[in-house]
A and B are shown apart, each in its own frame.
Chain A
Amino acid sequence: MSQANTIDIEPLLHKDEVHRKVYTDPDIFDLEMERLWHRTWIYVGHESQVKNPGDYFATTIGRQPVILVRHKDDKIHVLYNRCAHKGAQLVGDTSGCVKAFRCCYHGWRFDTDGALLTIPLEGGYDNTGFCRDNPDTNVKKVPRYDSYRGFVFASLSAKGPDLKTWLGGVASSIDNMVDRAPDGELEVTGGVLRYTHDSNWKFFVENLNDLMHAIVTHQSSSQTARIVAKRVMDEKDEVPWAVEIFSPFTNRYSFFEEMGLHAFEYGHSYSGGKVSIHSAYSDIPGYVEALESAYGKEKTLDIFSENRHNTVFYPSATIKGPIQTMRVVKPLAVDKTVIESWTFRLKGAPEAMTQRSILYCTLINSSANLVGPDDYESYHRLQYGLQSEANDWVSMHRHMDQEIVNADGTIEAEGTNDIVFRNQFKAWKQYMSAEDA
């Protein structure tokens, strides 16, 4: 870390461009882990992954292993996945259910809130200072964790805004996704896809609301899907879900311009709003009725009047509300990132809704899918292209200063403005420049 601490952040950013080193320098990556990932709110998991007392889900916050777990009083905790004794990971699996955590090494047992239960031959610690009245013999809770409508975030720093304040304008994206469930609740379903990328995490996070790329990057899959569908289908055939999913990637530029962008404090953003590439999916019988009988016609219309594309909870998570999928960002090294994709079931909605979300995830997010590999290829070429010394600076000039800044500080812009990148780097700089948490 000593190397990282000497990095001067100021010269790495101009208001309209960023130094290539932020994507390629391992020391900057180390500093990002320390000052961004280990300080801000990071998405940990969904409450439905730990339904019952004792259920746990092991994951990471930046470089640190943590456990999301439900205690017997039904409270959810986020613990460091580190045994209080000599530091072995308390659980190795990604998920499971336990009465208590028993360390694999010397058998210390801990309750699901981290409290020490038993130590084999405990007398050996008499008068050592490391006995059960020393709080260090409990498994530590991470400094802060909180959940917003089922989505659990945690922060390794005790300081900073609370979760609701931090979410700010993108909390409404979670609201809209949850409100789409007739029973008002979501549930993780259908397994997870984990996709390794040989590139910096920021390329992925920027790309989500880069509305200039889809037409070019996804031309081959989207256009081919349209052409093949035309060739093999009768006019009266129902358009298959897969074609509905692929087609909008090559909508006209004007469509993407009109989708629009919204950017917020702490680097958050979403694209779409009234329309998005998810707007034109066909109706699934029974769904609208279920929603109307739960909320009434007016509120139902209200829910559907929002159609957002990607919402980014900077830096760790992104959702697609209208199709109920989520991608979680796991940076492993300056040029290695794992993207996890999750699917949510809308409780109270017809099963076909879930099946379409599952199909979406398979078609767009798997390691062997027909869309993501072309994004991957672009990130790969960025990672290697930026080894070039031709120009140290990476552009984010598009529609510079054309965005509207509202009185409350929220930002609106047309869909192809680079404001999302400028806004992410503004937050990035704030986190990266602060020596204290």
Chain B
Amino acid sequence: MLAAAIGLQAPGVLESLSGSVTLMVVPAEEYVEIEWRNEQRMAGRIEFLGGKPEFVRLGELDDVDICMMTHVTTENPHDGFGVGGTNTGLVAKFIKYVGVKSHAGGAPHLGINALNAAHMAIAGIHAQRETYRDEDMVRIHPIITRGGSVVNVVPDDVRMETFVRGSSINAIRSANEKVDRALRSGALAVGARVEITTLPGYLPLAPDENLTALHRANAEALVGSDRVHEFGRRGGSTDMGDLTQLMPGIHPYVGGAVGRSNHAEDMVVDDYNLAVLDAGKAMAMTVVDLLSNGASEGIRVISEHKPAMTKDEYLILQRAFLSERSYTE
């Protein structure tokens, strides 16, 4: 982003452009530490647990027409760009199983094992996997953030976090209902109670085609067309997805990183020239394309883009995902 900003401040550039360029630094794209963020939400400090949805809610994007960012990746091409492609959307869940403590050796029959409830819930989630369609790209991958207090006490407080991802809002919604069944069945199986908090997450990424084409041409000019790849359907999620539902936006990838995959412990950026400078150049050049000649390209991109929803519709949709429920079966 800084590279793009510097480039656009080169002598004469801004004078030749129409409109404006906004630099945005957004927090909390990784949807993690759900329990803590949920506490922030309940304390009224945030409403949404991701940075961009929260920016949208606060009106920070009300005066933005087109948006772009570039994300680094370990995927091929290591020496170029990945453009286009989609990402899944998600809802996030925070789950708490409430059992009954007792001595795990001396009196297990007096306890209700919340960890076993969570275990059964995860087994249930797995048993449902065959019911998901390939094209729905459903991904459910829970973690246990609290699994008991000490080993000789029957666990009575077990907490899980999970995402329910899918390539469409309907896919997410339907998978989320199935996950709730599995979570409830875990409680029913052992006689525990489950508190399920479902939190609005991110929407699927739908990059704008015109914007993708402009950016792609610039990337090819920088690194050569053999080093710019068309990406396909991707399983990860980003809150850039939310913005692409509201306005023309792109979220291309740039190489320059190595490791098993993003989010792996061995993921490091090893080519900063590409990952920082070339990424910045491609974005700045795309801004120039959009805003030159009275911003005619920008106006075309905006006019040919049909946003999936308005901001109000977006907020209604996301808020409808929020639920806090407690079940014993």
Whether A and B are associated in the same complex: the answer reads no
B binding-site residues for A, Cβ under 8 Å? none
A binding-site residues for B, Cβ under 8 Å? none
